[in-house]
Structure 1
Amino acid sequence: MYDYHVHSNYSDGDFLPSMLGAAEAAGLSGVGIADHCVVVPDERIRRFRDAYGFALDQTYPRRRGAIEELRDRFEIEVYDSAEMDYEPDAEAEIRAFLDEAAFDYTVGSVHSLDGTNVHYEEPFAAMSEAERRATVERYFEKVVALAESELFEIAAHVDLVERNAALRGLATEDQYDRVARAFADSRTVPEINAGRVLDDYGEFHPTPALFSALRDAGVEFVVGTDSHAPDEIAARAEKIREFTASTGLSPVELDL
């Protein structure tokens, strides 16, 4: 099992050696350190990035050196990656950075709408139902654009709006079909994401309905625990193993 989505202290996760040790102890064959990275030229997003220390665009050379040294201490395969925030208007900046950084692979994510992180319930709860439905529509439009851009090898948690109680359950079959067609035509592979499977949300990304739409379209998947702490990796990896066994899914491995 290859877990392509783990964070470290180079963004909002635990210390790099601790994360690698936990991944090895969990019996994984490989782990990708995909710390958050934002190169979007938007002032609100820049302030958010700076406040939370998402500075991988500045620190990735130092982290790369640390990964190289740590590879000798662990039997597990370790990949040098990044989870990039995607904005359609910033494709040129993202592409230029990725060409410069030359990660082993990259994970693309849609985290925000108009500068507001979709994790935050309060701004969306204040909207009317029509406004919230329009928000979900815009979210999936960005996910489709991410797939069509082919900037990334992997797309993370492609229905992140489901984590937000104010937006949950508003997605439509038509939106799921559009997402499925976009990934069927893209080199970008969505992930089975276990980042919230053990908390109050209690579900994988994508939700069963979107998972079925993607699978019906012939889309393949990788898996990611989206872990930020060492003790999350083994438990989430086990949930993924149970999920793949119950669904008959055979996750693909990136050609790295």
Structure 2
Amino acid sequence: MKCFHAHSNYSDGEFLFRMARAAADAGLEGIGFADHCNVASRVAPQQERQLLGFNLDLTYERRRQALNELREESPIEIYDAVEMDYVPRDEPAIRSFLEEGNFDYALGSVHQIGEQNVQNASNFTALSDDDRDEIVTQYFDNLVALVESELFDVAAHVDLLERTPPLRGRSTTEQYRRVAEAFADSRTVPEINAGRALTDAAIVHPGPSFLEILQEYDVSVTVGTDSHEPAEIGKRAEFLADFVAETDLEVVEPPSLS
């Protein structure tokens, strides 16, 4: 089994060599490092990247050298990927960076609506139900735009807002179908993301209703542990293997690897 979404010290994860070693110890055949990256020129994203240190657009060549060194000694495949924050108006900058970076494959993620991170519950607790529903609508509008842009191989954690209590459970069947139709017409594939699967929240992305609709549209998937620490890799990979077997999913590699 290969897993295509993990992080390293080049964004918010552990040292590359420790993550790669943990993947090999877990019996994986391959691991893809997709560190966070945002290339928006607006003030708020720039401030966030400075605060968090998500500077892969400045450091990807250095990370690539480290990955090449790891490949020489690793018994498993190691992939050089990126997880890009996606906002429709940033498409030109994203496209330019991806062409320059020439990664093995690229993940796209919708983390922001306006200037608000959808994982930060405090951004939405004071909103009315109608305003929360509007945030959910905007999230799916951006997700469809991400898929239709054809910029990415993989769309990561496609119902990310389910992690956020004020937004959880507000997505509709119609919204899921819009996204499924977009995937059915695109090279981009969604992932099964285990980043919250083994927490108290027990959230798998996409959730059961969304996943059922994706299967109805014959949409293939990749798998990603979304691990940030070595100890997470083995447990999440084992969970994913069982999950895929139980749900009879068609698992594929990111299209650029095919």
Question: Is TM (by shorter chain) over 0.5?
Answer: yes
Q: CA-to-partner distance for each residue in 1:59-107, whole Å, 9 max, x for gaps? A: 0000000000111111110000000000100101100000000000000
Shift of 1:115: 1.4
Provide the secondary structure at the position in 2 that maps to 1:193: strand
* Letter aligned with residue 75 of structure 1: P
Matches within 5 A, 1:102-113: 102-113=102-113
Contact 2:31 2:79 in 1 (8 A): yes
* Letter aligned with residue 165 of structure 1: P
Query: Paired residue for 2:202?
Result: 202
Query: Paired residue for 1:82?
Result: 82
Aligned-partner Cα distance in 2 for 1:201–1:53: 27
Aligned-partner Cα distance in 2 for 1:81–1:244: 23
Provide the secondary structure at the position in 2 that maps to 1:83: strand
Shift of 1:200: 2.2
Q: CA-to-partner distance for each residue in 1:88-130, whole Å, 9 max, x for gaps? A: 0010110000000000000000001111111100111110001
Q: TM-score, normalised by structure 1?
A: 0.99
Query: Paired residue for 2:184?
Result: 184
Query: Paired residue for 2:60?
Result: 60
Provide the secondary structure at the position in 2 that maps to 1:204: strand
Q: TM-score, normalised by structure 2?
A: 0.98
Provide the secondary structure at the position in 1 that maps to 2:152: coil
Matches within 5 A, 1:1-256: 1-254=1-254, 256=257
Aligned-partner Cα distance in 2 for 1:41–1:201: 34
Q: CA-to-partner distance for each residue in 1:178-207, whole Å, 9 max, x for gaps? A: 010011111001000000001122021000
Q: What runs of 5+ residues in structure 2 fail to find an aligned partner?
A: none
Q: CA-to-partner distance for each residue in 1:198-229, whole Å, 9 max, x for gaps? A: 11220210000000111101110000000000
Aligned-partner Cα distance in 1 for 2:210–2:42: 30
Contact 2:117 2:123 in 1 (8 A): no
Provide the secondary structure at the position in 1 that maps to 2:204: coil
Contact 2:194 2:226 in 1 (8 A): yes
Aligned-partner Cα distance in 2 for 1:124–1:103: 35
Provide the secondary structure at the position in 2 that maps to 1:243: helix
Provide the secondary structure at the position in 1 that maps to 2:223: strand
Aligned-partner Cα distance in 2 for 1:115–1:15: 30
Aligned-partner Cα distance in 1 for 2:199–2:32: 23
- Matched residue pairs, number? 256
Provide the secondary structure at the position in 2 that maps to 1:131: helix
